């Protein structure tokens, strides 16, 4: 069975501080990993994805994530957050068969001025 | 704006009723996905259609059904509604059948069952 665990449900951080949102997955087969962001009252938007190749993936809005196979993690990082980064962040995994998505429970990031 | 449209934006109905949610994918996208987002269950994949055919099924209840029409728009039908069906229902579209393709999400339909 596949599952995605986002370890922190809420992360408050001061403006211009760095942030890391944690994501761990479990799967018996190869997976592909994604981070989506949901701004208030909007749908989800893709931040970045890991399919293969370099384990450090850069996405939009200055976010990056590192795939760590041995630790089955795909943590999201940003070196300096802005007020506009306040949103809900979802980690997601899909199997190498590519026919179903599993989302984590989300991490609510609040950037404090 | 993702290019995916969903109607209606809000829907309030009573238990036992039936509703239809509509989704129009981005131009050129052949896949449509339906998701349910609720406070207790989080974001759950319901079902995927690709070019009119059902391609993958997730945690979709038997009371729920969906279809994709020749013009590629999709409808999600929810029947015998229960209070627990209150949620935000998202539609997403992508160009290919495989989930490796980026999914573009609509703004959602908020369903309230009273």
Q: Is residue A2 over pLDDT 70?
A: no
| pLDDT (0 to 100) of residue A26 | 87
C-alpha to C-alpha distance for B30 and B88, rounded to whole angstroms: 23
C-alpha to C-alpha distance for A58 and B25, rounded to whole angstroms: 27
- A36 CB neighbours in chain B (<8 A) are 105
- B2 CB neighbours in chain A (<8 A) are 43, 45
Instruction: Compute the Cα dihedral for A52, A17, A37, A22 and give only its sign.
Output: positive
Position with higher pLDDT, A97 vs A70: A70
C-alpha to C-alpha distance for A30 and A95, rounded to whole angstroms: 6
pLDDT in tens, B4-54: 999 999 999 999 999 999 999 999 999 999 999 998 888 899 999 999 999
pLDDT in tens, A30-63: 788 999 999 988 889 999 999 888 899 999 999 9
B28 dihedral zone (left: phi>0; alpha: psi -120 to 50; beta): left
The verdict on a CB contact (< 8 Å) between A99 and B99 is yes
The verdict on a CB contact (< 8 Å) between B43 and A43 is no
| pLDDT range class, residue A27, cuts 50, 70, 90 | confident
Nearest to B105 among A41, A44, A98 (CB): A44
Nearest to A105 among B42, B102, B106 (CB): B42
Q: How far is A50 from chain B (nearest CA, A)?
A: 10
Q: Residue B89 has which token pair?
A: 């229902």
Cβ(B71)–Cβ(B57) below 8 Å: no
| pLDDT (0 to 100) of residue A94 | 86
The verdict on a CB contact (< 8 Å) between A45 and B58 is no
pLDDT in tens, A84-98: 999 999 999 987 666
Cβ(A23)–Cβ(A4) below 8 Å: yes
The verdict on a CB contact (< 8 Å) between A43 and B98 is no
| pLDDT range class, residue A1, cuts 50, 70, 90 | low
Listing DSSP states for chain B in one string gives --S-EEE-SEEEE-TT--EEEEEEPPTT--EEEEEEEETTTEEEEEEEEETTEEEEE-S--TTEEEEE-TTS-EEEEE-S--GGG-EEEEEEEESSSSTTSPPEE---EEEEE-
Q: Write out the residues of chain A at the interface with chain B, using a CB-CB cutoff of 8 A.
A: 32, 36, 41-46, 49, 51, 90, 94, 98-106
pLDDT in tens, B51-72: 999 998 988 999 999 999 999 9
Q: Is residue A5 over pLDDT 90?
A: yes
| pLDDT (0 to 100) of residue A43 | 87
Q: Is residue A99 over pLDDT 80?
A: no
């Amino acid at each position: 069975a596949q599952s995605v665990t986002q370890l922190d449900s809420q992360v408050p951080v001061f403006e211009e501080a760095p942030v890391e949102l944690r994501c761990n997955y479990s799967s018996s087969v190869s997976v592909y990993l994604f981070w989506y962001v949901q701004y208030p009252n909007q749908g989800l938007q893709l931040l970045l994805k890991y399919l293969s190749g370099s384990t450090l993936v850069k996405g939009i809005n200055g976010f990056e994530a590192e795939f760590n196979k041995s630790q089955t993690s795909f943590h999201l990082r940003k070196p300096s957050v802005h007020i506009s980064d306040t949103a809900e962040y979802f980690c997601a995994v899909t199997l190498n068969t590519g026919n179903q998505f599993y989302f984590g429970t989300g991490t609510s990031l609040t950037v404090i001025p | 704006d993702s290019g995916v449209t969903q109607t209606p934006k809000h829907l309030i109905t009573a238990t036992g009723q039936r509703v239809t949610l509509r989704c129009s994918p981005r131009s050129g996208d052949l896949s449509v996905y339906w998701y349910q987002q609720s406070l207790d269950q989080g974001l759950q994949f319901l079902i995927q259609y690709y070019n009119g055919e059902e391609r993958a099924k997730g945690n979709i209840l038997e009371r729920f059904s969906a279809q994709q029409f020749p013009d590629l728009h999709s409808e999600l039908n929810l029947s015998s509604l229960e209070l627990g069906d209150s949620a935000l229902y998202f539609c997403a579209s992508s160009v290919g059948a495989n989930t490796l393709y980026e999914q573009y999400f609509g703004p959602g339909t908020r369903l309230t069952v009273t």
